[in-house]
Amino acid sequence: MSYRVYVNMQIDPEFGPESSDASQAVSELTGGVVRRATRLADGRELVYYDDPGTTLPAERSIDARLLDPRPETAHMRQDPLTGDWITYATKRQNRVMMPSADADPLAPQTPTNPSEVPSRYDVAVFENRSPAFGPALAQATGAAPEGANPPHGLDDLEAIGLERTRTSIGRCEVVCFSPEHAGSFGTQSVTRARTVIEAWADRTAALSALPGIEQVFPFENRGEAIGVTLPHPHGQIYAYPYVTPRTQRLRESIARTDQSLFARILDSEQRSSRVVLQGEHWTAFVPYAARWPLEVQLLPHRHVPDFTALSGDERDELAPLYLRLLRGVDALYETPTPYIAAWHQAPVSVGRDAIRLRLELTSPRRAADKLKFLAGSETAMAAWTAEILPEDAAARLRDAIASVSASVSAEETR
């Protein structure tokens, strides 16, 4: 008999203890992806995203683990020299480091591995157990956690003073691309990539609707050189209580130029020799002033603030095109390339008419056996020196993408 244990948590009436399975909230998304929402034993949200035509059963296992209470929400302090907010999430010190397959916390649960995901899955998204931000709200009341000192809007966050602190209201989620122990986004099928894109859009909509959230950021860290602690193919989504420093700098640049900055950048790059991949709806290019040895941006051709605004056709094209890009990145060398794939989205409440969704993929790898380390000038002064011309980097990447494009095309025709 299946059962569920609720430990130190407020019970959401939609997923109460009378539920006999974990498929109570089901909806169909675009592209034939099915969404199944439930909660883990400590109350954290878990959402399954089923591939179109999945072979998985509709019913999912209950999370019957006995879990410790969720940690207190972290806090953040303001640096008065920059206005930046620094989060202190001390519970993250004890994260799992490169576990074996039989102890993988992102694999489906087994009798010997009480992992984070109770059932076999295609794509799964759940709240991080030790997040940098959140939990945002008490689940039963919808209020800020007891004793919290949440931000009081953007004006409060953008003011500068000494020894200012706020509770790190927000959300951090883990996005599992596959139930397999090893891999990355680039190793997935076209169908699976399309499912993940649908999950990004769905989670962006859900997180943007949470009170106090100002920006939603999906990303993938890949490789030990980047600092990855789990080999399982996965990414993350951060929902911030502020507009991030990078995006604030972007807003300043737009204010000093005009609202069409992204359209003008795209037009300029499309006429350059730095384009590495282009479709009907998307263009990938090495930017004119690339900082990293490997740096690629991917932009939609029309103005789109975030994943939620992408059309079905744009999402359909993105899946194989993004796989071509990532597999080309891996084809540059004999071993997989470490990278950060950062999906920049417009903030929730400001700049949506001017800030465009874009991928910014960067890697410190400058040769087969060499990495670029950020030393004094880059780290201390943010004054960069690059060793590789963007035009040369683009030429190498175009050749690498060409060498793997046939494999993605073959997947699309199956």
Active site residues: 234
Packing angle, helices 190-208 and 390-412, rounded to 10: 110
H or E element at residue 218: strand 215-222
Residues near 157 by beta carbon (within 8 Å), at least 6 away in sequence = 85, 151, 166, 214, 241, 242, 243
Q: Which two tokens stand for residue 107?
A: 């694999």
Residue 166's alpha-carbon distances to 77, 83, 152, 245, 269, in angstroms, are 7, 13, 9, 17, 41
Residues near 155 by beta carbon (within 8 Å), at least 6 away in sequence = none
Taking the alpha carbons at both ends of the chain, their separation in whole angstroms is: 40
Angstrom distance (rounded) from CA 22 to CA 30: 22
Residues near 93 by beta carbon (within 8 Å), at least 6 away in sequence = none
Residue 218's alpha-carbon distances to 15, 172, 200, 207, 343, in angstroms, are 26, 10, 7, 11, 5
Q: Are 162 and 183 in contact (CB under 8 A)?
A: no
Q: Are strands 85-88 and 75-78 parallel, antiparallel or unpaired?
A: antiparallel
Angstrom distance (rounded) from CA 290 to CA 252: 19
The residues facing 234 across adjacent strands are: 176
Rounded to the nearest 10°, the torsion over CA 392, 398, 400, 402 is: -160
Angstrom distance (rounded) from CA 398 to CA 328: 8
Determine the Cα angle at 86 with ends 134 and 379, to 5°.
135
Matching residue, tokens 């995901």: 117
Smallest Cα–Cα separation from 123: which of 211, 208, 31? Answer: 31
Angstrom distance (rounded) from CA 35 to CA 46: 10
Q: Are 152 and 116 in contact (CB under 8 A)?
A: no
Q: Are 172 and 216 in contact (CB under 8 A)?
A: no
